[in-house]
Chain A
């Protein structure tokens, strides 16, 4: 392991020294280290600023997430009502709302909010899962002594959810760093690693960009490691590192009208919250657009619709291609690992390390290597979708019972036949889980790349509108990208339900 790392480092040094990648876009490690040393005075304030945004957001986001998780675990009605909000938070491409947050709030607040949003979903779902999966016999002991739901929560359920919650905090820590950096991309501010990265993008200094990128990765990795160690200390077993992509279902058995009312409430609640937040903020109507004001804006004869269509026509196809490529590679590699278990052993550590990296925040590095053409968008999209998809699918395929694989083998089936008969059908729930995970990430990756590099599509429209102070367009693009993300998520869920029902399978995380 150490030898391989050294070989890789030496190779990197040689490649960097000879300027083999994109005319020197990949500098040698020694060059990065030298640049880092020269810049050492700049780093503390940038790192501190990002840490502050990410740290406060992490605290607030996880606190809200645990409280919400407890509420959803106790009350299925609340879980059902909040489903729309939960999916919206899961699916929203953070970069899209960064400009709005910068308009509506000041200072650290946009970073804190995006960091908190990045933490919320994963910790909330883990809390719900942890509480609802509490050993029923432990609950019975408390109830047998006359303890009610509160006593059961206090004495048993919250504590037994701790391993799940700690598992989620590991993933939330890098997400908070990413959230803070995306807010810095989208909202200026002088300090912060994201601001530093953007500020340095214009100068032709690859070594500095790499230094900042590595610093951001290190910061996220430390956050991950801290909670990994705590989780390890508190629990003997570790929780699998897959990211949840399913909000709590909140199955409510009631009359049809009640279920319809809850479904409608769940759709309306995000819009009501939007309205309420604007009313509460007291921001001027010109800047803060309510849902109605946005409809008015779209009615104006300003060709807004046309520009949006053009942007969509650029963004959506490449997003779809990126998802298809990322998932396709992940699927092929995961299936390959059934035939050659060595693939998982060699590749899983790399894939797991990427879970601790703020991948989208490294967009400027990819711009350096692949230039500002459409290929950079594909690279980013593939990289943000491939790794989580591979982890989800490979871990899912490993759960297929040995005996299920052995039956066709016992009848002399070839490896390919085993794949066709057992592994591929068994992977269906994980393919869908990976797809649900990939859709919002791909859109985030594409929009970030468009914003920072290519000057096309929705991301660029957002960036331009920011420059023109076209508030209506900023809001429109933000809302539209969230709606699109939720829409595609729901389409996946819809297909998934039908396919899995036909196969007699249940949804994976």
Chain B
């Protein structure tokens, strides 16, 4: 069963040379089980901070974060969460299948060979099981990272700008593939991105954040039915939503 993510009254600040920076100020957000939510905002709006809090890599100064009713660290130790970072973050000395198996090693679970093989097929990397990350293209590495994020059948999936380092053409292809993969698992997903089109194409709901202090500016629902096709990018409805989100990013 997919679980939900809940942030209530979360604040996090950092002390720097220029004084105190409020990375997040009193942020509340509910992500329903099974929903695909995109988080978008200008750099410095605290979206990465929010994700680090939700994954348990950082702790809030105030407020509460829970994943399926547990603290993020507990949820992670129970293997409820999966994560893919920007730039893949693969271990260069591990083959594709061993990289995908890494969460099993951390969680001290036996390697589920069949699951790994299924995921490799799902992300279209059959035949590359024994390849090292250095032998793969950027897009292939990113698919390995997605497969790794899914390997422990997580109830809650975090994607931190997973296609940020790819070019526009490859990104569109990966968006279509990610939707296909997501529709098979229907895992609760939080996608952090700075691509407006990517957010609209993939999400049920787009959360627009603003900076100084980091806060949620607007939440916009995306009505398009699934499966969404690549042609959707060119429709007037899509363009209208893009304009609305761009406006929200500018503070309207």
Contact = CB atoms under 8 A, between A and B. Distances in A.
Interface of A: 135, 137-138, 140-147, 151, 155-156, 159-160, 236
Nearest to A236: B134
A140 B76 CA distance: 12
Contact of B89 (A135, A145, A146, A147): A135
Contacts of B37: none
Given A140-B57, A159-B93, A236-B134, A146 B87 contact: no
A145 B79 contact: yes
B102 A146 contact: no
Listed from nearest, the 10 A-B pairs whose CB atoms lie closest are A146-B77, A146-B76, A137-B89, A147-B106, A145-B106, A144-B83, A144-B55, A145-B103, A141-B89, A142-B106
Given A155-B105, A155-B106, A144 B91 contact: no
B231 to A, nearest CB: 35
Chain B interface extent, by class: 20 to 34
Contacts of B76: 144-146
Interface in B194-248: none
B56 interface: yes
A446 B189 CA distance: 68
A13 B183 CA distance: 80
Q: Is the interface of B mostly helix, strand, loop or mixed?
A: mixed
B32 interface: no
Contacts of A151: 105-106
A144 B57 contact: yes
B142 interface: no
Contacts of B158: 144
29 contacts: A135-B89, A137-B87, A138-B89, A141-B85, A141-B102, A141-B148, A144-B56, A144-B57, A144-B81, A145-B76, A145-B79, A145-B81, A145-B83, A145-B102, A145-B106, A145-B107, A146-B56, A146-B77, A146-B79, A146-B106, A147-B106, A151-B105, A151-B106, A155-B102, A155-B105, A155-B106, A159-B93, A160-B91, A236-B134
Given A143-B57, A144-B76, A151-B105, 6 more contacts: A138-B89, A144-B158, A145-B103, A146-B79, A159-B93, A160-B93
B178 interface: no
A159 B107 contact: no
B99 to A, nearest CB: 10
Contacts of B134: 236
A140 B91 CA distance: 12
A369 B76 CA distance: 70
A54 to B, nearest CB: 30
Contacts of A140: 57, 85, 89
B31 interface: no
Given A146-B107, A151-B106, A138 B87 contact: no
